Structures are given as structure tokens and as C-alpha cells.
Amino acid sequence: MNRQAKIIRQYELVERVMGYDPNADEDALNRAYVFAMKAHGSQTRASGDPYYMHPIWVAWLLTSLKLDHKSIITALLHDTVEDTLTTLEEIQRLFGPEVARLVDGVTKLSRIELQNIGEQSESTKQAENFRKLVLAMSEDIRVLLVKLADRLHNMETLQFLKPEKRRRIARETLEIYVPLAERIGIQRWKDELEDLSFREMNPDAYESIKIRLDEMEKVGAGRVDRIIDELKKTICLGNESPIPEAEISGRRKSPYSIWRKMHAKNVAFEQLSDVMAFRIVVDSVGECYQALGTIHGRYPVVPGRFKDYISTPKPNGYQSIHTTVIGPEKQRIEVQIRTRDMHEVADMGVAAHWSYKQGVTPADTPKTEGRQYRWLRELLDILEHATRPDEFLEHTKLELFQDQVFCFTPKGDLIALPRGATPVDFAYAVHSQVGDTCVGAKINGRMQPLRAHLQNGDQVEVLTSKNSSPSPDWENFVITGKARARIRRFVRTQQRDEHIKLGRGLLERVFRQEGYEYSEKAVEGVLKIYQQQGVDDLLAAIGAGQTGARDVFNSIFPGHRTITPAAADEKVAAAVAAKAKPRKGTGTPLAIRGLIPGMAVHYARCCHPIVGDRIVGIVTTGKGVTIHTIDCETLESFHDSPERWIDVSWNPDASMTEDMAGRLSVVVANETGALGNLSTVIGKNGGNITNLKITNRTSDFFEMLIDVDVHDVKHLTNIMAALRATPVIHSVERGR
Ligand code: MN
């Protein structure tokens, strides 16, 4: 329906509401319609149309979500308090306190829009708008639904405004209303708002995509319909397990979604093959998978595009199966499969819960809402703590607008984290104590390194150990503020403890070497010289390498003649101090980060880790840490002892003085000169063969393990690439 020119008549609107909710207050609806018309009187819109057409259209839009009559009445009245002489008291008297509260909420939001004319910076304004919006809707999400419908109708009638204003409104829509529509799951409004904004913000791109889509339509005239027909034959009448009741629909994708895809994949329009999407709606979950089986059995599947949002719903409650196949006309098509109930939620999102049949008091809302709208509470949390509006927006853009990952605790509680978050972030999000004592994590039942990136839908089980504490290395990979702050605080105190311990050890040793009994009393005597408050402070300074242990000793016993050469001892101290401060040490940085100071390191012989490999450490009491590559099969045997896993990584600051042995498994043709060829290629590429073992020999091939000294994984990869390019060499892999 053309929403710009047509007037919705009173009876049309009221009949439509009564049609889906026979118990709606017909009298109040009628009164609200008339009230809005009278209140706006002769006011006109920028288009020249009577103003009252706008609230009536907003109400009409909301009937498509089958909202309760109070929402519809609110829509009819939404501009009266702001733009006419009507007061809230009047509305309360005529339509009751609930409608008055809702109208008030929408009015507040409209006032925010007016403030835009002020002098605040663009981002401050936007942040402030958003903040108010969230606050208002947190009281009753119907306020947001009315506001979204209002925005949708305004976007549809944008062409009558001045260009700058149009662009500003479009951008605000794209940055604030679209994500909110998505968050509450109203897909159809999200798509419409997105397309309308895109058209305004980027008219050239919009036009050119539209023209190409139209051209395609001409060339493949009726293609969507033909594909629907064939899908119907396949699904509804197919030979194997037909589903006669399945409903199949199709559409071409919107210009905005195509544009976004062109951007994300950095491809031209011509390279985009799936511009059509089809939907199969069936009765039960069983039939969803049945239909999926039929589609996958009939058409070639495009790998990497299958997504099962039925078993793992999106955080806004969306459920569906998505897959992409080479469809009937040899074209890539996206197919979505879902049940009728899922379809309703997909289309209407939160409105599906707020429709007339659910009742409308927050207490009645389904239990899932608590979890689903947790982000709203989190936003409010940030709101309370953010001091400046733009700071708030910064937070929100990070936490809300950028992609997030949603993970689950073993009990099924949802934890929302920024994309790129790790199990450590997850642990701190659950509870600070859990973060502080976490020693490992099982993701979807498998032990994974603490630096792993969590994916949407991951179930994360954090393993803790009472005596464990945060590792300084975590700070390098956590991405949430909470985790980082806790780790930093901990590391600071812990580092001091370490330094005190180390300082005392160093000083005690000098005492011993010189034949004295160590005593703190003696140290107290020289505190002033070093301008330190207490003994611990001086010991910490020694441990941190700022003050020499021997200097302190010499200050305590000025007349003493040194037995051990001082220089040698200081060297030891410096080396130990460097170990205690792996990231800022003055000595040679360690090759590996995340180790416990003073712990011995071995490289596993099973997987031969080299610089650049992703690695993990396994602690063996009395032996130190053994470094394995993350995919080493040996790690399987440590799955039951998570307390032995430590997170380590190569230290990019360390200059590796020695090469490391990388192991290659090579298959070479059994012919003259082949082995010579092999060693020449390795030598030419700077590798040094230290060991070579033939593991199998047939008349055609040698299989062998070769240990090659290399600088790092890149070096090894170069050698492997060179070997692969050599004709006599059949295959090259990293050896085990
Ligand atoms: Mn309005």
C-alpha cells in the first residue's frame, strides 16, 4: 500500500485491530482516532498532507505486528502532546494511566530529536539520543515499537525534507534504529529501515544496484517464480518424504544487503551469485531437517554457508536453518527453513511476545525475555556509569553495535562478549573470582587454550583451581575491560611479591657468600641511603633490578672486602630479574611468554614446536614446562588434568639466537639423485639438516623424517614450499 497518499479510514483501522483481537477496547480505539484528527486539526506535513495521516499510518504499521490496542492508541496519540495543545493529564483522563505513560515515553524520545538542532557535536547528540531511547524503552518496550513505526513512516516520507536533514535522519536511522530493530528481532522493519536509509545516504550505489537487479530480472524473467515452482515440486511432492503442507516463498535480496555483501567480500556485483533468497516454512522442527535433507540431497551444497539457528538460536530469539545451494537454474540460492512459529518470531521479534494474546504487563512476558534482553540491562548499567555521552557511545559502539559473540555456561546462561573474546574474558564475565582462579577451559566439551577466540553459540566450561592466580600473559589477549583491569591489578601486587621474594633471595645469597647471617635488622639500617620506606620496598627494588644486591650489602658492611667478583654476581641478579619481569626485563627477553619465573622449559619432541607455531605449555612437577604445538596429539592425554595446562606464547621481542629443529615428513621418489636434490633445496633455503630417518621405503618412494634447523615457522614454511615445487618430491608435511 502506498503509505504516502492514502488515508486509512477509522473503520478500517478499528476493524483490523478487532480482527486479530476481538477483546480490544473498540470504543477507546474509535475515540483515539477522532482525538488525534481533532488535535492535529489543520496541521500539515512537509508533503502538504494533513498531519493526522502520520499517526494513523504509524498505528496501521503496528497492526501488522498485531499489537495490543493500547499500543495502537499510543501510536494514534504519539505526537499530540509534543505538537498540539493536548496535555498528558488529558490523555490520562481519557485513555487511562497506561496509555498516558506510553505516550509520555514516546514524547520524550521526540523531544530528544528536536534537541538535535543544538550545538552539540554530532556524536554527542547521537549518544544522548541513544541514551534516552534506551532509558525510555527499558520501561516498556512498546515505547520502542511505536517509535520504530514512527521512524519507519518518517523515513518513507523523507523526500519532502531538505537534503541535509534527510541525510542526518537517514544516518541516525542506520546507526541507532536499525541495530535496535535487529536486536528486538523485527526483521521486516529492520530491512525496510536499512534500505530506506541506504537509498538516502548513498543514492548512487542504491541506483546502480537497483538497475542491475532490474536488468537481471529482465534477463531471467520470472526466475524467482520458476525456482519456487521447482522447489515446491521437490519439497511438497518429492519422491522421498514429501511435505505437502510446506509453504515456499522467494524474493530477491534487498539492495542494501547486496551492497553490504559486496563490501564485506570486496567483490563486484557480477561476482555476487546469490542475490535470491527462498524460504520454506513447515509445521515442525522434524520437517525442517527433513526439508533440509531433501534440498541437500537434490542440489549441490555450497560449503561453509550452512547455519543451524534452530539448535543455536540467535540472541534475539531468531531460529531458522540457513543453507546455500546451486539451485534449479544453476544459480546460487540461499534457502531458509523454519517452522511457522519460528517464522512469526523471525518476522516480528519481541512483538511476537507483546502482541495482544500475551497480555501486556511485563510480569506476563515469557521467561525467555529475561535472557534475551539482558543486553538492555547491561546497557543501562553502562549508562549509569558513563560520565560523558560520547564516552557512552564509545562503549555502546564497542559492545552493542559491533559484532558480539554469545556463549553459554554449562547451565545454559547466556554470556554476551565482544567478538574476539577469550575463555578468560568469559571467566571474568561470569565472576571475578572465576576469572582469578581459572586454569583452563573446555569449549563445547574439549580442552582449548585460554587464548582461543570464542565463537557464537560456544558452550564454555571454565576450570578453576583454588590456588591458582591470573597470569600476566593473559593481559596480552583478553579484550574486555573487566578482565584487563582485574589482571592488571593482580599482576601489580603479584609482581611486587615476586620482586620482594627475589630481592630477599639475592641479598641472602650475597650475605652467605660473604660469610654473614642475613638479617632484616641490618637492612633496616640502610633504608635511608636508598630512600626506601620499608625493608620490603628495598627488597622489591633489588628484585626488580633497580638496586644491586651487592651495593646494598656493601652499604651495610662498608669496610668488607669482597670475596666473589662483584660483576659475576650482578650478572646473575640481572638474569634472574629479567625472568621475573618477562615483558620489561633489562636482560635478554625470554623466548616464551606466560611462564612462571624460574621454571625450566623444554620443547616437546613429539611435535617440535618452532617460533610462530601456536603453542601450549604442560607442567610436569620437578621437570618444568614442556611446550607443545596446539594441535599436538600428545595433548589428548592431558585433557583430564587441566591444572597442568598453561597458556604460553612466543615472545615477539625475543631475538632467537639459536635455530630450532623443525621436523618434516617427506615422501620422495625412489630415483637417482632424489636425495641429493632434496638436501640441495633445503640448503639453498638456509635450512640445516640435523637428522634424517627413513621410515619406509618402497620401490617407488622413500618416506622419511627430516629435522631441519630453522629460525621460525615462516622459515620452515618457505622450505616446505620450495620442496613442494621440486619435481622428485611427492609430498611434504610437518612431521610428528
Ligand atoms: Mn511521529
What 3-state DSSP class applies to 706? strand
As a whole number, mean pLDDT of residues 345-352 equals 68
As a whole number, mean pLDDT of residues 141-156 equals 88
Neighbours of 111 (CB within 10 A): 11
For residue 147, the one-letter residue type is K
Q: Ligand 1 centre from 594 Cα, in Å?
A: 57
Q: Ligand 1 centre from 489 Cα, in Å?
A: 50
Provide, rounded to the nearest whole percent, the portion of the chain with pLDDT above 70. 78
Mean pLDDT over each residue of the chain, to the nearest integer = 78
Give residue 93's pLDDT band: very low, low, confident or very high (50, 70, 90). very high
Tens of pLDDT, residues 604-653: 888 888 887 888 888 776 667 888 888 788 888 887 777 677 778 887 76
Q: Ligand 1 centre from 106 Cα, in Å?
A: 9
Q: Where are the beta strands (DSSP E) in 477-613?
A: 592-593, 601-603
Tens of pLDDT, residues 216-272: 777 777 788 888 888 888 888 876 678 888 899 888 888 888 888 777 766 677 666
**Predicted pLDDT of residue 647:** 79
Give residue 589's pLDDT band: very low, low, confident or very high (50, 70, 90). very low
Tens of pLDDT, residues 399-409: 443 456 767 77
Asked if 274 and 267 touch (Cβ cutoff 8 Å), the reply is: no
Q: For the domain with range 10-203, which CATH number is right: 3.40.50.720, 1.10.1050.10, 1.10.3210.10, 1.10.1740.10?
A: 1.10.3210.10
As a whole number, mean pLDDT of residues 119-143 equals 59
Q: Ligand 1 centre from 174 Cα, in Å?
A: 18
Closest by CA to 681, choosing from 664, 699, 661, is 664
Report long-range pairs for 511-514 (Cβ below 8 Å, ≥24 apart).
511/553, 513/563, 513/564, 513/569, 514/553, 514/557, 514/560, 514/562, 514/563, 514/564
Alpha carbon 13 to chain centroid, angstroms:
42
What topology does CATH give the domain 402-479? Ubiquitin-like (UB roll) (3.10.20)
Instruction: Name the packing angle between helices 97-115 and 69-77 (round to 10°).
Output: 40
The structural domains of the chain, with segments of one domain joined by +, span: 10-203, 206-351, 402-479, 493-653, 659-734
CATH 3.40.50.880 fits 206-351, yes or no: no
Entry pTM: 0.50
Q: Ligand 1 centre from 384 Cα, in Å?
A: 28
Tens of pLDDT, residues 416-427: 787 789 999 999
User: Could you identify the residue written with the cell 521526540?
Assistant: 110
Q: Ligand 1 centre from 143 Cα, in Å?
A: 12
CA dist., res. 449 & res. 463, Å (int): 12
Residue in 83, 344, 347, 436 annotated catalytic: 83
What topology does CATH give the domain 659-734? Alpha-Beta Plaits (3.30.70)
Residue in 26, 49, 82, 247 annotated catalytic: 82
Residues near 69 by beta carbon (within 8 Å), at least 6 away in sequence? 17, 21, 24, 25, 28, 29, 356
Q: Which of 116-120, 398-402, 730-734 has the highest mean pLDDT?
A: 730-734
Q: Ligand 1 centre from 113 Cα, in Å?
A: 11
CA dist., res. 676 & res. 689, Å (int): 12
**Predicted pLDDT of residue 393:** 46
Three-state SS string over 67-120 comes to ECHHHHHHHHHCCHHHHCCCCHHHHHHHHCHHHHHHHHHHHHHHHHHHHCCCCC
Q: Ligand 1 centre from 80 Cα, in Å?
A: 9
And the C-alpha cell for 26? 473498540
Q: Ligand 1 centre from 107 Cα, in Å?
A: 9
Q: Ligand 1 centre from 250 Cα, in Å?
A: 33
Least confident of 51-55, 383-387, 726-730: 383-387
139 is an active site residue = no
83 is an active site residue = yes
As a whole number, mean pLDDT of residues 444-465 equals 82
